[in-house]
Structure 1
Amino acid sequence: MNEHVLQTNGLTKKFKHSFALDKVDMSIRKGSIYGFIGQNGAGKSTLIRIVTGLAFPSGGTVELFGQSSQRELVATRKRIGSIIEGPALFPNMTAVDNLEAHRLMRGIPGKDCVARTLRFVGLQDTGKKTAKNFSLGMKQRLGLAIALLGDPEFLILDEPTNGLDPMGVVEMRELLKKLNRERGITILISSHILSELHLLATHYGIIHHGQLLEQLTTKELNDKCQQYLHIKVNDPGRAATVIENKLGTTEYEVVSSGIMKLYKHLDQPGKVSTLLASEGLVIEEFMPMGEDLESFFTKRIGGVRHG
């Protein structure tokens, strides 16, 4: 039994003189929620379009459910549900009619799946209200319902929380967790809301300028997210001098007005605070903290340098 739903080997996509994807080796294990992280233009959407058959690679291979030939990929893509570049809705149709139209277009047998899927996403009581009159959150849930028709084993979502209000983001997160937990659906989710991904994903892939920089589990991410002493003082420049000269380290950074992150001496907070105070510095905030996914991502692509 193949443990991976998706594997790519040297996947490349070239446009004239630039590479949208540059020899990407990605693997997504069955049952995982894979958070796909990258800036605009990093290659996320290009990879997703290739995997779903909407674009063709310039080189390399895609393997879905252990199958890699073109004929096999056409068949295995029927086991995928996706939302790419926004849900494909018929604005003048009701939720029921939208799902029924997609069911017929895709040749999915039986009407029972329509009502069942609408109940799952919480749209069973929308009646004659048409999709054009839905809130953005309702439209996203209807798009998810369309993607879930046919009971896919692998769900691919490109920015599914884009534009949602905080409550809509929470609702989408809980729906995706429920799909993963109760139905065992493997999910690939591309999102710019890194704090939200950190609450959802079990695995991560970081892509930058078409290159997959790193793949890691939540545990590995938590291990790599550096712990630090959060220090706010009245004179960070002078504090930096004290830290370098008296503590003998340059493992710190000044991140905003008066706030510093010290990555060394985490086991000696009393020594650090006493030293700063003895040098006449006013300590306004002092506490141990850990970095989040956004901070780790920024550092990983080279956006932040230590002091």
Structure 2
Amino acid sequence: MSEYVLQTNQLSKRFKGSVALDKVNLSIRKGSIYGFIGQNGAGKSTLMRIVTGLAFPSDGTIELFGASAERELTQARKRMGLIIEGPSLFPHMTASENLEVNRLLRGIPGRDCVSRMLELVGLQGTGRKKVKNFSLGMKQRLGLAIAMLSDPEFLILDEPTNGLDPMSVIEMRELLKRLNQERGLTILISSHILSELHLLASHYGIIHHGKLLEQLTAQELHDKCQHYVHIKADHPDRAAMVIQSVLGTSDFEVMPDGVIKLYGYREQPGKVSSALFSAGLTIEEFMPMGEDLESYYMKRIGGGGDV
């Protein structure tokens, strides 16, 4: 059996006058939480739609649970759950009624899965309350319950925390972690909130203008994110001169706000502070820091933009 839930080979998708996906080779291991990162229009949703059968590729192939033939893919997709472009809910029904309708439409036997899913996402106490009166966070949790009705092995979530308040974001994160750890559920998740993905994902894929720039594990990201000593002194130019002349390193940069990022001497901060004090400088801020996922992502795509 394949160690990968999903693999794509030279996957491409073209629309009139534009390329949404350009020869994408993506791999998602079983049991991982794969954070899919890219700007609006980068190709995240397009790839998810192709994987779930909601769209078709122009070129290339996908392999899902080791299956690649179209008939086999249809069967393999039954082992998936998904929320693409927001959950589809019946606003004038209760949470239980929404789940029951979806259960019947998908031919899932037994009604016990409805109560189990309500309890799983924390909506068992909503009773006769209509979905139209739910908060956005409750609607997202109900969407997740619908996606989980058939006890899938692979969950695809397109922006599941978009628009949620901070508490709902935390609840969603903890729920997804629990599903991954307790059920071994593999999750592909895209999100605009990169700091949130950093707390959740075990693997990452960075896509830009339809091209998959990089895939890496959380450990590889940690290793690649440069750690540094954050220094703010009363005279940044003089501080920079001291670091270069006294400490003998040019492995630093002075930011526009005057903050110095010193990449060397991370293990010897005492030597740095002593040199600056000896030069008569006043140190206003001095602390070890490291780049996060957002900083690495911006550096990787080479500029700014709407993530």
Q: Could you tell me the TM-score, scaled by structure 1's length? A: 0.94
Shift of 1:30: 0.6
Q: Which runs of 5+ in 1 are unaligned?
A: none
CA distance in 2, matches of 1:247, 1:47: 50
CA distance in 2, matches of 1:194, 1:6: 22
* Secondary structure of the structure 2 residue equivalent to 1:200: coil
Per the alignment, residue 251 of structure 2 pairs with: 251
Per the alignment, residue 43 of structure 2 pairs with: 43
CA distance in 1, matches of 2:106, 2:66: 23
Please tell me whether the aligned partners of residues 234 and 258 of structure 1 are also in contact (alpha carbons under 8 angstroms). no
Per the alignment, residue 67 of structure 2 pairs with: 67
Q: Deviations over 1:173-210 (max 9, x none)?
A: 11111111121110001111111111111111111121
Q: What value does the CA root-mean-square deviation take over the aligned residues?
A: 1.7
| One-letter amino acid of the counterpart of residue 39, structure 2 | Q
| One-letter amino acid of the counterpart of residue 291, structure 1 | E
Matched, 1:202 2:202: yes
CA distance in 1, matches of 2:25, 2:89: 33
CA distance in 1, matches of 2:147, 2:235: 54
Shift of 1:46: 1.1
Q: Which runs of 5+ in 2 are unaligned?
A: none
Compared with structure 1, are the counterparts of its residues 242 and 22 closer, same or farther at alpha carbon in structure 2 (3 Å cutoff)? farther
Shift of 1:248: 4.7
CA distance in 2, matches of 1:52, 1:46: 10
Shift of 1:103: 1.1
CA distance in 2, matches of 1:112, 1:208: 43
Shift of 1:268: 2.9
1:1-307 matched pairs, under 5 angstroms? 1-255=1-255, 257-303=257-303
Range with greater deviation from structure 2 (202-211 or 289-298) = 289-298
* Secondary structure of the structure 2 residue equivalent to 1:281: coil
Range with greater deviation from structure 2 (201-210 or 154-163) = 201-210
CA distance in 1, matches of 2:44, 2:255: 29
CA distance in 2, matches of 1:248, 1:37: 38
Shift of 1:302: 1.9
Percent identity, please: 74
CA distance in 2, matches of 1:234, 1:41: 43
Compared with structure 1, are the counterparts of its residues 254 and 209 closer, same or farther at alpha carbon in structure 2 (3 Å cutoff)? farther
CA distance in 2, matches of 1:249, 1:210: 40
CA distance in 2, matches of 1:59, 1:204: 24
| One-letter amino acid of the counterpart of residue 171, structure 1 | E
Q: Could you tell me the TM-score, scaled by structure 2's length? A: 0.94
Compared with structure 1, are the counterparts of its residues 101 and 302 closer, same or farther at alpha carbon in structure 2 (3 Å cutoff)? same
Shift of 1:244: 4.1
| One-letter amino acid of the counterpart of residue 267, structure 1 | E
Range with greater deviation from structure 2 (285-294 or 183-192) = 285-294
CA distance in 1, matches of 2:151, 2:254: 50
Range with greater deviation from structure 2 (79-88 or 251-260) = 251-260
CA distance in 2, matches of 1:34, 1:238: 45
CA distance in 1, matches of 2:255, 2:130: 48
Shift of 1:257: 2.6
Number of positions where the alignment pairs a residue of Structure 1 with one of Structure 2: 304
CA distance in 2, matches of 1:256, 1:103: 57
| One-letter amino acid of the counterpart of residue 289, structure 1 | M
| One-letter amino acid of the counterpart of residue 98, structure 1 | N
Q: Deviations over 1:129-184 (max 9, x none)?
A: 11110011101100000100111110000111111111111111111111111211
CA distance in 2, matches of 1:185, 1:118: 18
CA distance in 2, matches of 1:14, 1:39: 18
CA distance in 1, matches of 2:81, 2:11: 21
Shift of 1:271: 2.5
